[in-house]
Chains A and B, each alone.
Chain A
Amino acid sequence: MIEFKMPSLGADMEDGTLIEWRKKPGDFVKRGDIIAEIETQKGLIEIEIFEEGKVDQLLLQVGDKVKVGTTIAVINDGAESLPQQKPAIEIPETIKPDETKPMDMESAHESLSHRIKISPLARRMAEDSGIQMGDLTGTGEGGAITREDVELAISAQTSKTEKSKSPVDQSLGIRLAVAAAMSKSNREIPHYYLESRIDMRNALAWLSEMNVKRSPKDRLLPVVLYIKAAALAVKQCPELNAEWKDGLILKKEINIGFVVSLKAGGIIVPAIHNADQKSLDQLMADLNDLIPRARNLKLRSSELSDSTFTLTSIGESGADTLYGIIYPPQTGLIGIGRISEQPWAENGMLDVRSCVSVTLAADHRASDGLSGSRFLSAFNQFLQKPETI
């Protein structure tokens, strides 16, 4: 048996509210399946499962607020069973204010199995909608739960879900999440900054050459070059692809957190998994998928929790230079300003070239200026030879 815990969705998230179970007891699940939808400050997040097995128990009810790290489901992976006489799991530590004491799961299960009167149709409707039988009030003969009772509960659940998606709440929630993460970063991480100006002539010429042959939907944006170059450069400076938690923890995967600005204000940072191994076309496809979902606050749990290094690009009409704040507990962030024409001196000659200012914000506990410089130098080298990445 495996205890599936409420995952952390970033340093700025402490809890969430269950909106819907997407699986029910008895369902088989595999890695990557969505087991639940949880409302958080960062929107409605699809919670992925990372185990394989059969859902044994779901320990939350729709509307329950739960802290990160709390067991929310039990998955039977075929390994040793939990002792029968006592539940091996802790009852979820919910923070619902009116909860008084944990429910006895065994007796609850027994009660549900033997005492609830419910018609087969109503039972199926309740199960399909993720509604717990214990939540239903029966109005049929002898207190039996009828189809109408389940429909009423479904309607109440839907309105609760809609209410929790109010744009004002979401906007405020995002603002608070950003505030929490940035305050923590500023308080705890001793940042140092390095800056380079990069000649974009080769990169832009190469991109134009690629795009001229492509239809609009297949065109690449300069940002995919940045993402790939950053992923390859950080590979050479592993202390920037890491976490600092009472010591340096190097990360094996290179997952670039890509900062997406939200229309209503605030930012959200979904992860582009294994960016170092993806082609530019794959990275562009990832952006086409991620950006609209990020703006609709419809991301998956792994996309919010797996970033190992952050990239933020201000865009074409933004500021020249961007000094970022590291997303804790990561140890580095690259900030890219807008591309603009600038005077460029080389070999004693003056030229006008498209340039971009690139900054590295790094955690001085994890790395020093020398490795930070190495990173910026590698980033530049990759952009000078875009055909090689």
Chain B
Amino acid sequence: MNREELRTKICGLLKQIAPDTEPEALKDNDKIRDVLGIDSFDALQFIVALDEHLGVDVPEKDYAKTDTLEHLLNYLGEKIH
């Protein structure tokens, strides 16, 4: 999966968590939770979705590395390859 495909996949998962938002419109450095209005419950559901759909278990200590699309893509890119 290349970076663009990964981005599309992530946006799809975010859309499931926050259906009323437009994750495709996120800029690379936007704080995902702030822009999409995701609370801690939804944030955990997103971490669960990453585990179930991409096979990446993000430990709590790494949550901060998933705050923007750029950080998340970098993090997942390392974990998947």
User: Could you list which residues of chain A lie within 8 angstroms of chain B, going by C-beta atoms?
Assistant: 208, 211-212, 215-217, 219, 221-223, 261, 263-264, 287, 291, 315-317
Point out the residue from A208, A216, A264, A317 that lies within 8 Å of B44, measured CB to CB: A216
Interchain CB contact under 8 A, B41 and A221: yes
Main secondary structure of the interface of B (DSSP, over half): helix
Interchain CB contact under 8 A, B40 and A216: no
CB distance from A265 to the nearest CB of B (A): 11
Interchain CB contact under 8 A, B39 and A261: yes
The reply to whether the CB of B34 lies closer than 8 angstroms to some CB of chain A is: yes
User: Could you list which residues of chain B lie within 8 angstroms of chain A, going by C-beta atoms?
Assistant: 18, 20, 33-34, 37, 39-41, 44, 47-48, 50-52, 57-61
Q: Please, which residues of chain B bring their CB within 8 A of the CB of A212?
A: 59-60
Interchain CB contact under 8 A, A221 and B44: yes
Known: A216-B57, A219-B60. A287 touches B41 (CB 8 A): yes
A78 to B66, CA, bound (A): 61
The 6 closest A-B pairs by CB, nearest first: A216-B48, A216-B51, A216-B47, A217-B48, A315-B39, A263-B20
Interchain CB contact under 8 A, B44 and A291: no
A211 to B40, CA, bound (A): 15
Known: A212-B59, A212-B60, A264-B20. A217 touches B51 (CB 8 A): yes
Interface centre among A216, A217, A316 (most CB of B within 10 A): A216
Q: Please, which residues of chain B bring their CB within 8 A of the CB of A216?
A: 44, 47-48, 50-51, 57-58
Q: Which residue of A lies closest to B39 (CB)?
A: A315
CB distance from A280 to the nearest CB of B (A): 14
Q: Please, which residues of chain B bring their CB within 8 A of the CB of A263?
A: 18, 20, 37
Since A208-B60, A216-B57 are in contact, a sample of 17 more A-B pairs with Cβ atoms closer than 8 Å, ordered by chain A residue number, is: A212-B60, A215-B51, A215-B57, A216-B44, A216-B47, A216-B48, A216-B51, A219-B44, A219-B47, A221-B40, A221-B41, A263-B18, A264-B20, A287-B41, A315-B40, A316-B39, A316-B40
A317 to B50, CA, bound (A): 22
CB distance from B34 to the nearest CB of A (A): 7
CB distance from B58 to the nearest CB of A (A): 7
Q: Please, which residues of chain B bring their CB within 8 A of the CB of A222?
A: 40
A117 to B21, CA, bound (A): 53
Q: Which residue of B lies closest to A318 (CB)?
A: B39
Q: Please, which residues of chain B bring their CB within 8 A of the CB of A219?
A: 44, 47, 60
Q: Please, which residues of chain A bring their CB within 8 A of the CB of B39?
A: 261, 315-316
Q: Please, which residues of chain A bring their CB within 8 A of the CB of B57?
A: 215-216
A263 to B37, CA, bound (A): 8
Known: A212-B59, A216-B57. A223 touches B48 (CB 8 A): no
A264 to B40, CA, bound (A): 17
CB distance from A303 to the nearest CB of B (A): 17
Q: Please, which residues of chain B bring their CB within 8 A of the CB of A261?
A: 39
Q: Please, which residues of chain B bring their CB within 8 A of the CB of A223?
A: 40-41
Q: Which residue of B lies closest to A219 (CB)?
A: B44
A211 to B44, CA, bound (A): 12
Q: Please, which residues of chain B bring their CB within 8 A of the CB of A315?
A: 39-40
Q: Please, which residues of chain B bring their CB within 8 A of the CB of A221?
A: 40-41, 44
Q: Please, which residues of chain A bring their CB within 8 A of the CB of B60?
A: 208, 211-212, 219
Q: Which residue of A lies closest to B46 (CB)?
A: A216
